[in-house]
Amino acid sequence: MGMEKNYEDWAADSEKLHELAQELLPQTPTVELRISRSLADVAVAAWQREEEPGELPPETDEQTAVRGDAATLALIGQSIEESGIEDGDDVIFKLDAWVLGNALEAADRAGRLQVFPPPAN
């Protein structure tokens, strides 16, 4: 049995996560965040960018993920535009927690999230 049992448990957990998400959906918790001005500017530019209109062609899984990640960046830009306050070289803004989760998941999926950064010298 071994790993088969694990996958059965994980499938059941996944279903419960979907059920839990349905209860979380009507709630829109926000978090206050601080990011560098340079990254804030990139996110706002993504929000303000005009895109070519039209129907999407069939996409690969990678293209769908890239488009979703870009949409997350644009939503962060929207939040910065709506609530951002400059604080020195940083911007403080409010963001829906689910957008924060999407951003962290995207970076993790790309192998770019350093949960334990190397120690400073």
pLDDT tens by residue, the chain, 121 residues:
678 999 999 999 999 999 998 998 898 899 999 999 999 999 999 999 998 888 989 999 999 999 999 999 999 999 999 999 999 999 999 999 999 999 999 999 999 988 787 787 7
Q: What is the pLDDT of residue 25?
A: 84
CA angle 86, 87, 93 (to 5 degrees): 55
Measured between alpha carbons, how far is 53 from 48 in angstroms, rounded to an integer? Answer: 15
Q: What is the pLDDT of residue 1?
A: 66
Q: What is the pLDDT of residue 32?
A: 98
Q: Give 95's strand partners.
A: 31
Q: What is the pLDDT of residue 51?
A: 87
Measured between alpha carbons, how far is 95 from 76 in angstroms, rounded to an integer? Answer: 7
Q: What is the pLDDT of residue 95?
A: 98
**What residues does each domain of the chain span?**
36-50+60-113
pTM, two decimals, is 0.82
